Structure 1
Amino acid sequence: MSPPQQHPGEGPRTSARPDAAQCFARRFQRLQEVIYPADVGRPYTEREIAEAVGMSVSQISNLRNGRSVPRADRAVALATLFGVRVEYFFSPDEDPYARDVEAHLRAIEQERRGEPVGHRDRAAGGPARAGAGLLDDDQVRQIAEGVAVLPRDMRETVGALVDQLRRAVGRPHKQRERKPW
Structure 2
Amino acid sequence: MSGRHDAAECFARRFQRLQEVIYPADLGRPYTEREIAEAVGMSVSQISNLRNGRSVPRADRAVALATLFGVRVEYFFSPDEDPYARDVERHLRAIEQQRRGEPIGQLNRAAGGSTLLVGGPAPANAGLLDDDQVRQIAEGVAVLPHDMRETVHTLVDQLRRVARQHKSREGQPR
Instruction: Give the TM-score normalised by structure 2.
Output: 0.71
Note the 1:89-100 alignment, pairs <5 A.
89-100=76-87
* Structure 1 counterpart of 2:96: 109
Establish whether residue 53 from structure 1 lines up as the match of residue 44 from structure 2. no
Q: 1:172 aligns to what SS in structure 2?
A: helix
1:80–1:145 contact (8 Å) kept in structure 2: no
Q: 1:136 aligns to what SS in structure 2?
A: coil
**Residues 145-177 of structure 1: CA deviation (Å, up to 9, x unaligned):** 59723624422442355457658xx8437xxxx
2-structure distance, mates of 1:123, 1:152: 25
Q: 2:104 aligns to what SS in structure 1?
A: coil
Note the 1:1-181 alignment, pairs <5 A.
15-118=2-105, 129-131=120-122, 136-138=127-129, 148=141, 149=144, 151-159=148-156, 162=159, 171-172=166-167
CA RMSD of aligned residues (A): 3.4
Q: Greater helix percent: which structure?
A: 2
**Residues 90-130 of structure 1: CA deviation (Å, up to 9, x unaligned):** 000110000111111111111222211137xx858x99641
Gaps of 5+ in 2: 107-113, 169-174
1:103–1:123 contact (8 Å) kept in structure 2: no
Shift of residue 22 of structure 1? Answer: 0.7
Aligned residue pairs total 154
Q: Assess, with a 3 A threshold, how the Cα gap between structure 1 residues 76 and 152 changes in structure 2: closer, same or farther.
A: closer
| 4+ residue segments displaced more than 6 Å | none
Instruction: Give the TM-score normalised by structure 1.
Output: 0.69
Gaps of 5+ in 1: 1-13, 174-181
1:75–1:86 contact (8 Å) kept in structure 2: yes
1-structure distance, mates of 2:47, 2:118: 41
